[in-house]
Amino acid sequence: MTENDEVVELIGAVRLSEDPALGAELAPRLPAASEPRALSVTDLLDPRRAFWRRQRGPAPLAPERELRLELGRAWHRRIGDAMASEGRLEVRLRRGGVAGRIDLLADVPVEIKTGGVRPGAAPPQERAEYVEQLAVYCALLGRREGRLVHVALEESAPPSVGVFRMRFRDPAEIVREVERREADLRRAIGASRATDLPRCRWYGPACEYRAAGLCDCTGDEPAASGSIVAEQEAVDEDPSLASRWAGRFASLEAPSLGPAERFRDGLYPRRSYFRRTVVGPAEAPHARPSGSPMDAYERAVAALERGPAGEVHRLSTGPGTPEEEVLAWGEAACLVRASRARSRLTVDDVKTRFPQYVLELGFRCAAAATPRGRLLIAYETPTPGELPVQVFDLDLEATVGRFAALWGARREAIAAAVARGRPGELAPCPAWMAVDCPYRASCGCAEAAGRSQR
């Protein structure tokens, strides 16, 4: 039996069923395609920087800095995983036109920061943006209390931890300032002019936009409003909690970027090979103009984020898994996909026409050690009279171990092929991918793939 036959048999063994009740529950939350995209909470902490990112795209970074940032993100995930028993990780929420991710939703919202030296006893004066971010999350949830956790990472010593309990006066006042900043940033984006936005907190030589000549900031702009920080009523250190959490972090191993960085790599190993070995940015990030209508995928994600706080979050994952989040909807690992199919899919359609959905969700379930998966399909052109979304539940109780084994085998195969410079050792991608593949001139998949999966 070939590996492809084994994959087909594995997908066939997955128990898959449609959940129309969940689809009916989610559909009313879908925003209109014409509704403006949400601004993130971090956008509103530094609106001028957010403006230039939308106007000019990501600023170029030196490879060394990009690596530091990626390792920093990996550390953040490791630390979050160590705190998973305290609550739900990276809780997504969208309230009005603002979206955010709360690092940990325990008895109160918790914001986790990693870096060098921890702040002292008065973080508002030293890290105003930290306080603002926590305050906004509290306000969006209608809470008055939260925790700021700072983890100082040092090469030659275990991480040191500071925990600050913070209380805020009036969540409604914070929401009003959030709405004002949102309106100012949207107005600037609409006018393509940052003139009325406050001074960038990152202004200076370290700002990649300034270094690349991608902004017209002078540093003389008015300072940002301090009204959110002013709503802080009290701050107290919690050394007992800091000590308990520091004990958890002491045994964490430093993250390293492995040969397979994304779950998609396990679906298409040969593409993964060329993504790692082709010189230059062959795969440009997908970016939609800020004024274009939201597509089906974006609308589905927005609908999830509009639900109760804590419903959509991140599951913790084990070693040897990609440095990529596993989204959860309720207690199940969740995969969101948009479809241009002209009619709604059946269970057989999902398994035979779109097996990559089942395979990727199986990898995600295996990474999070959960047998429950949920596939959310949003239709670009819904069938008249039908819901624009469809939900399938996956039961992997009998197969999650096989998905874990398949992921491990493909991860090792990618590493070996890269080391030997032999992409032909890896299974070719399906023929339908060749149309838009940036590597089609050198990979040979289109000739070897056989019939299309679609």
Q: Is the pLDDT of residue 449 over 70?
A: no
Parallel, antiparallel or unpaired: strands 145-154 and 109-115: parallel
Ordered by start, the domain boundaries in the chain are: 3-35+258-448, 39-249
Q: Is the pLDDT of residue 126 over 70?
A: no
Kindly report the three-state secondary structure assignment for every residue of the chain: CCHHHHHHHHHHHCEEEECHHHHHHHHHHCCCCCCCCCEEHHHHHCHHHHHHHHHHCCCCCCHHHHHHHHHHHHHHHHHHHHCHHHCEEEEEEEECCEEEEEEEECCCEEEEEEECCCCCCCHHHHCHHHHHHHHHHHHHCCCCEEEEEEEEEECCEEEEEEEEEEEECCHHHHHHHHHHHHHHHHHHHHHCCCCCCCCCCCCCCCCHHHHCCCCCCCCCCCCCCCHHHHCEEEEEECHHHHHHHHHHHCCCCCCCCCCCCCHHHHHCHHHHHHHHHCCCCCCCCCCCCCCCCCCHHHHHHHHHHCCCCCCEEEECCCCCCCCCCEEEECCEEEEEEEECCCCCCCHHHHHHHCHHHHHHHHHHHHHHCCCEEEEEEEECCCCCCCCCEEEEEEECCCCHHHHHHHHHHHHHHHHHHHHHCCHHHCCCCCHHHHHCCCCHHHHCHHHHCCCCCC
- Other CB atoms within 10 Å distance of the CB of residue 59: 17
The predicted structure's pLDDT at residue 2: 75
Read off φ and ψ for residue 392, nearest 5 degrees. Answer: -120, 135
CA distance linking residue 409 with residue 401, whole number of Å: 12
The predicted structure's pLDDT at residue 451: 39
Cross-strand pairs, 373: 333, 394
CA 300 to chain centre: 15
Q: What angle do CA 175, 178, 182 make, to 5 degrees?
A: 140
CA distance linking residue 400 with residue 367, whole number of Å: 9
CA distance linking residue 336 with residue 347, whole number of Å: 16
Number of C-alpha atoms within 13 angstroms, CB side, residue 68? Answer: 9
Q: Is the pLDDT of residue 351 over 60?
A: yes
CA distance linking residue 126 with residue 184, whole number of Å: 26
The predicted structure's pLDDT at residue 127: 79
Average pLDDT (309-321) is: 92
For 452, the token pair is: 């299309």
The predicted structure's pLDDT at residue 37: 93
- The percentage of the chain sitting over the pLDDT mark of 70, rounded to a whole number, equals 91
* Residue 303 amino acid letter: A
CA distance linking residue 49 with residue 350, whole number of Å: 42
Task: Out of 99-113, 154-168, 262-276, 355-369, pick the least confident.
Answer: 154-168
Task: Out of 93-97, 190-194, 432-436, pick the least confident.
Answer: 432-436
Residue entry with tokens 């491990």: 408
Asked if residues 167 and 255 have their Cβ atoms less than 8 Å apart, the reply is no
Asked if residues 355 and 393 have their Cβ atoms less than 8 Å apart, the reply is no
pLDDT, tens digit (0-9, with 9 covering 90-100), for 273-305:
988 887 655 555 555 666 788 999 999 999 999
Considering just the CA atoms, what is the radius of gyration of the chain in Å?
23
Asked if residues 401 and 37 have their Cβ atoms less than 8 Å apart, the reply is no
Q: Is the pLDDT of residue 338 over 90?
A: yes
Q: Which residues contact 298 (CB under 8 A, 6 or more apart)?
A: 37
The predicted structure's pLDDT at residue 453: 35
- Domain 39-249 maps to which CATH number in 3.90.320, 2.60.40, 1.10.287, 3.30.200? 3.90.320
Asked if residues 394 and 16 have their Cβ atoms less than 8 Å apart, the reply is yes
The predicted structure's pLDDT at residue 88: 97
- The percentage of the chain sitting over the pLDDT mark of 90, rounded to a whole number, equals 64
pLDDT, tens digit (0-9, with 9 covering 90-100), for 65-98:
887 888 888 888 889 999 999 999 999 999 999 9
The predicted structure's pLDDT at residue 454: 34
